[in-house]
Structure 1
Amino acid sequence: MDAGTPKFRRRKADRPEEIVSAALAVFAEKGFAAAKLDDIARRAGVSKGAVYLYFETKEDVFRAVVERAILPNLSVVKAMAAAHPGPLADLLRGLAGHIAGVVETTPIGGVLKMVVGEARNFPELARVWHDELIVHALGAMAEAIRNAQARGEVKLGDPRTFALQLISPLLVGVLWRETFVPVGAQPFDLPALMRQHIDTLLGGMLTEGARA
């Protein structure tokens, strides 16, 4: 078995998914270091021994969370980008709305904060998040921008840098929500933040012909 694959033996078909769903919530609430397999088992409604039937370590559980609970959202984004034949502006507005909706309604933001905050002590978290999510998300966005440049819609510039510019405010907004809102800071409306950001950035990215 590949060392990067969660080590579980199939028992009841739904049990690994219940454990992964519980782990997503526990990691978002407690962080990686503080999360215990007991906490995950309790949230999933199984024994700690049942968790070990499917996963050998907490790192394996985290990898499964990324692969089973978070990657499907990325697959939707990649499919939207691949299937969109029209102007880049329409695609980016649609993607921004979808992604903002996901982070508003799931614990993914808490897991992102965990990865950022604990990567120095647990570099495997950052490695998995980068290799399984960031590389593919940036790649899909950069490819869409590269294609738009070929159509004459987007000005000259590094597509990967444009892609990072597009998603950065959402990441900052999530970290703001997870870090400062709990201690009294005024929250941001993430969908509204992204709508305003996309409109502002497109004004600088698009060629005159695409803005017409």
Structure 2
Amino acid sequence: MQAGEPKFRRRKAERPREIAAAALEVFAEKGFAAARLEDVAARARVSKGALYLYFETKEDIFRAVVEQAVAPDIARIAALMAAHPGPFPDLLHAIVERLVQVVGGAHVGGVAKMVIAEARNFPELARVWHDQLVSVALGALSTAIAAAQARGEVRAGDPRAYALQVISPMLVGVIWRETFVPVGAAPFDLPALARQHVATLLDGLSLEAA
């Protein structure tokens, strides 16, 4: 944004991001099918007509939510993995901590649950979530694990399967929070769960433990 640019122009340029941020909250609270464009517009404090200036459909808004509210965090985590030369335990602790911060956020966790629940009726949601988030994180982690195997830090095995093992407990913790805690189940401490999981997993992956 250039210095001296009129304030009304700056506000207009920021509106798609503001709408996406509002939609993140609405989707997390209501789900995709039940969310109305009127709800998103009201949360973003714009008219429904103004919303249509930027997005034609709810699917377009969902893509913006992924691209603007979640994908940048996943891209930063992937860049961290790509730049880290080792040792692998340090990397694993760092990336799991950051993953918990991203997927453990109240709204992102709610949208993740929404994608799982509504993917059959709205397959485009799952496609966007997979292509822009899941495949990026899983691919970067698989590459990092393969590199650690080449350095002799991690035992032989399918790096992609190991990557799924790393990520899965955090996702289950988020789904537990979004599904069962509201009906009375005791919550899990997601950061503590992640730390315990990494410690246990490293014992299994380490060549020294073989």
Alignment of 1:5-16 (within 5 A): 12-16=12-16
Q: Which residue of 2 aligns with 1:122?
A: 122
Q: Which runs of 5+ in 2 are unaligned?
A: 1-9
The residue identity in structure 2 corresponding to 1:147 is A
Q: Distance in 1 between matches of 2:106 and 2:116?
A: 18
Residue 97 of structure 1: CA displacement?
Answer: 0.9
- Using the size of structure 1 for normalisation, the TM-score is 0.91
- Whether 2:79 is the aligned partner of 1:79: answer yes
Residue 48 of structure 1: CA displacement?
Answer: 0.6
Alignment of 1:1-212 (within 5 A): 12-208=12-208
| C-alpha distance after superposition, 1:4-47 (max 9, x if no partner) | xxxxxx98111101100000000001000000000000000000
- Give secondary structure in 1 for the equivalent of 2:12: coil
The residue identity in structure 2 corresponding to 1:43 is R
Q: Distance in 1 between matches of 2:155 and 2:84?
A: 20
Q: Which runs of 5+ in 1 are unaligned?
A: 1-9
Residue 160 of structure 1: CA displacement?
Answer: 0.1
Q: Which residue of 2 aligns with 1:6?
A: none
Q: Distance in 2 between matches of 1:72 and 1:145?
A: 22
The residue identity in structure 2 corresponding to 1:24 is L
- How many aligned positions are there? 200
The residue identity in structure 1 corresponding to 2:194 is M
- Give secondary structure in 2 for the equivalent of 1:182: helix
Q: Distance in 1 between matches of 2:180 and 2:140?
A: 31
Residue 103 of structure 1: CA displacement?
Answer: 3.0
The residue identity in structure 2 corresponding to 1:187 is P
- Give secondary structure in 2 for the equivalent of 1:13: helix
The residue identity in structure 2 corresponding to 1:20 is A
Residue 106 of structure 1: CA displacement?
Answer: 4.5
Q: Distance in 2 between matches of 1:126 and 1:103?
A: 16
